[in-house]
Amino acid sequence: MEISILTICYLIGSVTFIIGLKMLSHPETARKGNLIAAAGMGIAIFGTIFLYQEEGIKLGNYAWIFTGLAIGSLAGTLAAKKVKMTAMPEMVSLFNGMGGACAALISVVEFGHISHDPGSVDSVTFLIIFAGLIIGAISFAGSMVAWAKLNGRIKDYAFNGQHVFNLLLFALIILASAWYIFNPQAGLNFIFYTVFALSLLYGIFFVLPIGGADMPVVISLLNSFTGVAAACGGFLYNNPVMLTGGILVGSAGTILTILMCKAMNRPLSNVLIGSFGGNHKGTAGESKDQGNFKEISINDTAVVMSYAQKVIIVPGYGLAVAQAQHVCHELEKVLADRGVEVTYAIHPVAGRMPGHMNVLLAEADVDYDKLQEMEQANEQFASTDVVLILGANDVVNPAAKTDPSSPIYGMPILDVELAKLVVVNKRSMKPGYAGIENELFFQPKTSMLFGDAKDVLQKLVAEIKTL
Amino acid sequence: MEQLLNWFTIHQQMIYIVILSIFLGIEVIGRVPSVLHTPLMSGANAIHGVVIIGAIIVMGKAEHDNYVALLVGFLAVVLGTLNVVGGFVVTDRMLEMFKRKK
- pLDDT single digits (tens) B46-84: 999 999 999 999 999 888 888 888 999 999 999 999 999
Which pLDDT value is given to residue B100? 54
A32 has a pLDDT exceeding 50: yes
Number of residues that this document lists for chain B: 102
Same domain, A115 and A155: yes
CA pair distance A431, A428, nearest whole angstrom: 9
Which pLDDT value is given to residue A47? 95
Percent share of chain A, pLDDT over 90: 48
Per-residue pLDDT of A67-82, as tens digits, reads 999 999 999 999 999 9
Same domain, A91 and A78: no
Which residues from A are below 8 Å from B40, CB to CB? Answer: 21, 24-25, 30, 252, 256, 355
Phi then psi for residue A387, to 5 deg, are -110, 125
Q: Is there a domain that residue A270 lies in?
A: yes
Same domain, A8 and A155: no
Q: Is there a domain that residue A289 lies in?
A: no
Q: Is there a domain that residue A8 lies in?
A: yes
CA pair distance A46, A226, nearest whole angstrom: 22
Query: Pick from A237, A259, A283: which residue ends a domain?
Result: A283
- Residue scoring higher pLDDT (A124 or A317): A124
Mean pLDDT, all residues of chain A:
87
Identify whether A385 is a catalytic site residue. no
Name the DSSP class of A393: -
Name the DSSP class of A438: -
Which pLDDT value is given to residue A432? 62
Q: Provide the pLDDT confidence category of residue A287 given band limits of 50, 70 and 90.
A: very low
Domain residues for the domain of A45 are 1-82
> What's the distance, CA A262 to chain centroid?
14
Phi then psi for residue B49, to 5 deg, are -65, -5
CA pair distance A176, A258, nearest whole angstrom: 31
* Pair A204, A100: CB distance under 8 Å: no
Per-residue pLDDT of A197-216, as tens digits, reads 999 999 999 998 887 667 88
Burial of residue A352 (number of CB atoms within 10 Å: 0-12, 13-18, 19+): buried
Burial of residue A325 (number of CB atoms within 10 Å: 0-12, 13-18, 19+): buried
Q: How many CB atoms lie within 10 A of CB A244?
A: 28
Domain count for chain A: 3
> Which of A394, A415, A452, A455 is flagged as catalytic?
A394
Same domain, A252 and A350: no
Q: Is there a domain that residue A247 lies in?
A: yes
Same domain, A32 and A148: no
Q: Is there a domain that residue A193 lies in?
A: yes
Query: Pick from A57, A82, A107: which residue ends a domain?
Result: A82
Q: Is there a domain that residue A415 lies in?
A: yes
CA distances from A338 to A194, A311, A329, A388 (A): 67, 12, 15, 17
Average pLDDT for A357-369: 83
* Pair B72, A62: CB distance under 8 Å: no
Average pLDDT for A221-239: 94
Interface test mutation site (partner A, options B22, B47, B94, max chain A beta carbons within 10 A): B47
A391 has a pLDDT exceeding 50: yes
Pick A76's closest partner by Cβ from B4, B85, B96: B85
* Pair A286, B85: CB distance under 8 Å: no
Average pLDDT for A398-416: 81
C-alpha closest to that of A48 among B11, B63, B51: B51
CB contact under 8 A, B18 and A27: no
A341 has a pLDDT exceeding 50: yes
Rounded to a whole number, what is the distance in Å from the CA of A292 to chain B's nearest CA? 36
Which pLDDT value is given to residue A433? 59
Angle at A122 between CA A198 and CA A183, to 5 degrees: 55
Percent share of chain A, pLDDT over 70: 93
Query: Pick from A252, A283, A314: which residue ends a domain?
Result: A283
* Pair A216, A137: CB distance under 8 Å: no
Q: Is there a domain that residue A288 lies in?
A: no
Per-residue pLDDT of B80-95, as tens digits, reads 999 999 999 999 998 8
Which pLDDT value is given to residue A286? 42
Which pLDDT value is given to residue A435? 63
CB contact under 8 A, B85 and A359: no
